[in-house]
Structure 1
């Protein structure tokens, strides 16, 4: 990995860690997040997956517009490191532990693989 890409990846991790910690205190049911990116098509290729415990918690978050607040915070944290997401809602996805267990026997590595 080139040093510039490694530095960018470290900055992304720091920015998303801040957004993750914020969400844990403001968004009921939110557990963790992860990301992936292809740096030859960055930032368009950035995918941030926000994980909740249950599907109902995702529904509740959407009803209370907490999903939009989470996307907005991720966008804000990325801007702080100089990464502009043109359409942040296309970079951020929501998933649940419940759905991963049902569809991939709890194997997040397999679930998060690109299709």
Structure 2
């Protein structure tokens, strides 16, 4: 991902409850919706025990707008009620990046 610096990363770390209970469908819908939001840059995700999803945004305002989006708010409520036994959100300013690619 090449983008102007600085930008912001929202790091969502979580432990899931047992079973899917509609989680996979909602996660796919939320990624599709996030990609349509003003200020969205990209997303990366991994799950092996603890899940980590990092979404990248142009500004803190874009992050706040995404957090307040009606459909995302419903997904957040479902997450607390059904899908997660624990989660933590961190918002970080990205000032520098580098990568290795063969």
Structure number with greater CO (CA < 8 Å, separation at least 6) is: 2
TM norm. shorter chain > 0.5: no
Normalized per residue, the structure richer in helix is: 1
Report the TM-score, using the length of structure 2 for normalisation: 0.45
